[in-house]
Structure 1
Amino acid sequence: MDHTEFNDSVGNLSEGVYAGLPIAPVPDEEDAEIPAAGGTAWRLSVETYDAEETFEEQFTRFMEKVDTTAVKAIIIGEWEDAYEESSARIIRLLADNAARFPELRSLFLGAMAGEECEISWIQQGDVTPLLEAFPKLERLEVRGGSGLELRPVRHENLKVLRFESGGLPAGVARAAGESDLPALEYLEIWLGVEQYGGDTTVADLQGLLSGERLPALRHLGLQDSEAQDEIAAAVAGAPVVARLESLALSMGMLTDTGAEALLSGQPLTHLKRLDLHHHYLSDAMVERVREALPGVEIDLSDQEDIENDWRYVAVSE
């Protein structure tokens, strides 16, 4: 797997591509020419505000107009009143109709832009039924942390798991660490801030950092955190790091303290890529990091003002 494909999922969507497939909306009733079902990433989305049709109505039209037995990728965008109505009914709709989608491999739940619904306003639910209903799923991505739940699960085929949030509930991090995911290669978590429900601590990440249930993991992203220094210190001694090809501790409030802990820990020279973008490192520490890892591709872009007492993560509200 080429992990660079997943470094900017939002960018991929904005370019009209998801999971390597061109994105298309659900056909209208009058549409005569319909893209190949298996060669398209299908986006299902209704207006968050004053929707003219319900999500269920669009989903029914999707199943009527498209050969769902060939569908490989689905993007769930907006649903009605997503800022106060959870995704539970969307999840149930997908799970109840799983037999109609035997080839589904990629699923993005909550792919909304900020003007549609801010990330921390999106009301999510328990996403475990998606993993239980789609045993062949290889890629699951979820945007929004409010109300988000996950229960420990075993899934034989999942390769990519991403949680984008402005505040990740601790239970989700713990459940991910308690899940048996033997095929998982890419794990990315945006931890966010306490103000928006991000109560995940380093202790909640221990299951992930041990790597015991993630034997195939090659990329780990623990990002967008107020406690990025503490996370960096934990990663410095984490068993999972030795098998990684790429590591992301970006988007958060990483300072020289965290970078020092990272450089003082286990060797990172085996990494192909280290992503630290959006950070609060001094110029001197930036140079130290580069000098310490000469063979590693390092992203140290978005250097924030370390003299500014007001610091922030890249994504919160």
Structure 2
Amino acid sequence: MTVNNHIEEFHDLPVFDFVAAVDEGAALPEPAAVAWKIAVEFEADQDWSARWQQFLDRVDTARVTAVVVGEWSQDGPESFAGPLAAILGAAGRLPALRGLFIGDITYEESEISWIDMVDVTPVLTTFPLLTELVVRGAADESVEGDGMALQPVRHEHLRALRFESGGLPGKVPRAVAASELPALERLEFWLGVPGYGGSTRPADLEPFLDGARFPALRHLGLQNSEFQDEIAAALAHAPVVPRLESLNLSMGVFTDQGATALLEGQPLTHLKALDLHHHYLTDAMQQRLRESLPGVAIDLSGAGKPDDQWRYVAVAE
């Protein structure tokens, strides 16, 4: 399965395609009114860095609060190192930046396993006031460069962090667990599969379950894995759960076994939302979940066949 659509909203703002607007001669919105997307198309006349410079020249970037980085490769997979250097070099011109989405790229532009990501630690060290970071890309086993990576870091203001991958390297959640993020409220991982570099195992997720590391955490997403049932069993008695307002176990191989573990564990009725979309639950279990959690908004869309021998995660290649 793949990423099919570009995001339309980020950091509570509509996404605005800067390059398309400039090429069409369209008027530009107020700097703080949108999340500015900068992306290039295949065989584009100008490379991403040139478009980024055009953005810096045409927009009052001192007032920009959110940026979305789209496709940066003109003719095949290309490391994010160049665009990252350009963004970091412009930090002084982006004092109001609070949200950054790296890799708003669909499968038609590049499979997620080809998105040549790098170590994104410099984003957090260079933008100390950032409150939201999303990173989409591949593990080092899947690309030419070093792949998606993070080093332990302290960041006082980050409230939302998400890593999206078809195969998340275990070093990423381990680095997050070793980081000091006192303001973190939302944390999500797309775990993926070993065939695309996914080396994260249940043990790598244990630090997020004890409730001690991130005292502000209110939303946890452990998604897109082949071991969703194991994750559910661990969450059934995890100290972090009573503090959560929402829980996301979607996109993976989630079966009646995992659902049973959740329901037979600690109460979940305090949750506002439970996202289980893309699952392999029987109709009976889906009904049991609805009846057991009447006040919880449960997403049970995208049901697969419970007896299917070829179960798969939502995003891998």
Normalising by structure 1, what TM-score? Answer: 0.91
**Residue 296 of structure 2 corresponds to which residue in structure 1?**
296
* Offset of residue 76 of structure 1: 0.4
Partners of 1:150 and 1:240 in 2: CA distance: 23
Written as runs of structure 1 = structure 2, the 5 A alignment for 1:101-250 is 101-146=94-139, 147-250=147-250
Higher mean C-alpha displacement, 224-233 vs 277-286: 277-286
Partners of 1:29 and 1:255 in 2: CA distance: 48
Kept in 1, the 8 Å contact 2:47–2:74? The answer is no
Written as runs of structure 1 = structure 2, the 5 A alignment for 1:33-112 is 33-47=27-41, 49-80=42-73, 84-112=77-105
* Offset of residue 40 of structure 1: 2.4
**Residue 269 of structure 1 corresponds to which residue in structure 2?**
269
Kept in 2, the 8 Å contact 1:169–1:197? The answer is yes
Partners of 1:259 and 1:107 in 2: CA distance: 34
Kept in 1, the 8 Å contact 2:129–2:158? The answer is yes
1:219-262 per-position Cα deviation (integer Å, ceiling 9, x unaligned) = 11101110111111111122211100000111100111111111
Q: Using CA pairs below 8 Å that are at least 6 residues apart, which structure has the higher relative contact order? A: 2
Secondary structure at the aligned position of 1:172 is classed as: helix
Kept in 1, the 8 Å contact 2:188–2:221? The answer is yes
Distance 1:286 1:96, change over 3 A: same
Partners of 2:45 and 2:51 in 1: CA distance: 10
Q: Percent identity, please.
A: 55
* Offset of residue 91 of structure 1: 1.6
* Offset of residue 137 of structure 1: 0.7
1:45-91 per-position Cα deviation (integer Å, ceiling 9, x unaligned) = 112x3232111111111111111111111110011258532212222
Kept in 1, the 8 Å contact 2:40–2:74? The answer is no
Partners of 2:24 and 2:298 in 1: CA distance: 50
Higher mean C-alpha displacement, 80-89 vs 93-102: 80-89
Higher mean C-alpha displacement, 194-203 vs 259-268: 259-268
Secondary structure at the aligned position of 1:223 is classed as: strand
Secondary structure at the aligned position of 2:36 is classed as: strand
1:14-41 per-position Cα deviation (integer Å, ceiling 9, x unaligned) = 54x3323331314648958432222221
Kept in 1, the 8 Å contact 2:128–2:156? The answer is yes
Distance 1:234 1:69, change over 3 A: same
Partners of 2:52 and 2:105 in 1: CA distance: 17
Aligned with 1:20 (options 12, 35, 42): 12
Distance 1:98 1:257, change over 3 A: same
Segments of 4+ in structure 1 off by > 6 A?
none
Which sections of structure 2, spanning at least 5 residues, go unmatched?
140-146
Distance 1:44 1:292, change over 3 A: same
Secondary structure at the aligned position of 1:80 is classed as: coil
Q: Which amino acid aligns with 2:11?
A: A
Kept in 2, the 8 Å contact 1:105–1:138? The answer is yes
Partners of 1:311 and 1:53 in 2: CA distance: 42
Partners of 1:286 and 1:29 in 2: CA distance: 49
Kept in 2, the 8 Å contact 1:177–1:206? The answer is no
Kept in 2, the 8 Å contact 1:21–1:40? The answer is yes
1:142-199 per-position Cα deviation (integer Å, ceiling 9, x unaligned) = 1123310011111111111111111111000111111111111111211111111111
Partners of 1:189 and 1:124 in 2: CA distance: 15
